[in-house]
Amino acid sequence: AQQLSRHINSQNGRTLYSNSCGPGMTKTNVTEEFRIRVRGYVIEYPTLQPLAEFGLSVFDFIEEKITWETADGARTQLYLAMSPEIEQLNITAKYFHPQAIEVPPSHLAQGE
């Protein structure tokens, strides 16, 4: 976001608002695909069923505690794409965590 913002804004004299975000862990079809694959292994290897059931129960517990519902997981991206604050406050070349919280980017992302 920093490099893109510098490059585009120096080229055309207009302001492009380029920010980046980490969406966090959101409940999506990806987690359901994981469950389907695990159950597929159980069909192929029935002796794995107790282990698979235990693993899925642990996964479900963790997912319930640390993931965002889909609508909540989309808030940061929607904020960055649609909020009038971005233009009003000239927010560009910034990094955001879930729920539109601005955080400093990793030192690895701050190079030229």
What is the per-residue pLDDT for 86? 94
Instruction: Quote the CA–CA distance of 45 and 49 in Å, as a whole number.
Output: 8
Which tokens in the block code for residue 34? 């994981």
8: three-class secondary structure by DSSP:
helix
Q: How many CB atoms lie within 10 A of CB 48?
A: 14
Instruction: Write the Ramachandran bin of 93: left for phi over 0, alpha for psi from -120 to 50, otherwise beta.
Output: left
pLDDT of residue 84: 96
Q: Where are the domains of the chain?
A: 1-25+69-112, 28-66
- Residue 12 pLDDT: 65
Mean pLDDT by 10 residues, the chain (112 residues): 65 78 86 88 90 92 90 93 94 91 82 60
Q: What is the pLDDT of residue 112?
A: 58
> Tell me, what's the pLDDT at 5?
67
Give me the pLDDT at residue 9, please.
Answer: 60
**Euclidean distance between CA atoms 50 and 31, whole angstroms:** 20
Predicted pLDDT of residue 6: 65
Global pTM reads 0.69
Instruction: Taking each helix axis as running N to C, give the angle between helix 29-44 and helix 49-66, from 0 to 180 degrees, rounded to the nearest 10.
Output: 170
User: What is the C-alpha separation between 79 and 100, in angstroms, rounded?
Assistant: 7
Q: Is the Cα torsion angle 86, 87, 91, 95 positive or negative in sign?
A: positive
